[in-house]
Amino acid sequence: MNNDKISEVLGLRPLEEAKSEELVVVYEEKEVITAVATVVEDDETIRDIEQVRGNIKNIIEQGDDALKEMISLAKQSESPRAFEVASTLMKTLLDANKDFVEISTKKKYAIEEKNGPKEAAQTNVTNNNLILSTADLLKMLKGE
């Protein structure tokens, strides 16, 4: 099957042209959002890592706003419980930041593993063993 004929019939660009970066415009509730989309080969692990990374990033952003409000409330009320809740929220956000860095590192390694050289994984090792007696070795050294 020729991909160009399929693309032509469906009115699409060939896949080779779509592999490069392109500007994508998404319309969402009358707001125009522009984003640069890179076409990456489908890999479920990388997609999952990216989704988790996005979720953690969203939680960190929301938690940052909540922490600011919680600190403000704690200062106003001067309640020990409010300060305890604020400190617990700080600890939770620190853990989320650590998770975010860990997920980013895992994504980097997953991409490197996927795009890395396949030669290293397929290295063949040949071991040549020469089994002989000392007498045979002496004969070989003397050239006999």
pLDDT beyond 60 at 51:
yes
Q: Following CA atoms 7, 8, 13, 15 in sequence, which dihedral angle do they give, to the nearest 10 degrees?
A: 30
Q: Which domains does the chain have, with CATH numbers?
A: 1-39 (no CATH), 41-111 (1.10.287)
Q: By the 8 A CB rule, do 13 and 81 touch?
A: no
pLDDT value, residue 123: 67
- Rg of the chain over all Cα atoms, to the nearest angstrom: 30
Q: What is the pLDDT of residues 22-50, one digit of tens each?
A: 444 444 444 444 444 444 444 788 888 88
> What pLDDT, in 10s, does the model give residues 85-140?
999 999 999 998 998 888 888 888 888 877 766 555 566 777 778 788 888 888 88
The mean per-residue pLDDT over the stretch 5-10 comes to 64
- The b/e string for 41-58 (b: 16+ C-beta within 10 A; e otherwise) is eeeeebeebbeebeebee
Residues in the chain: 144
Question: Cα(79)–Cα(98) distance, rounded to whole angstroms?
Answer: 29
**What pLDDT is recorded for position 135?**
87
**Res 75: pLDDT:** 92
Q: How many CA atoms lie within 13 A of 89 on its CB side?
A: 20
- Note the pLDDT of residue 118: 58
Quote the DSSP letter at residue 119. Answer: T
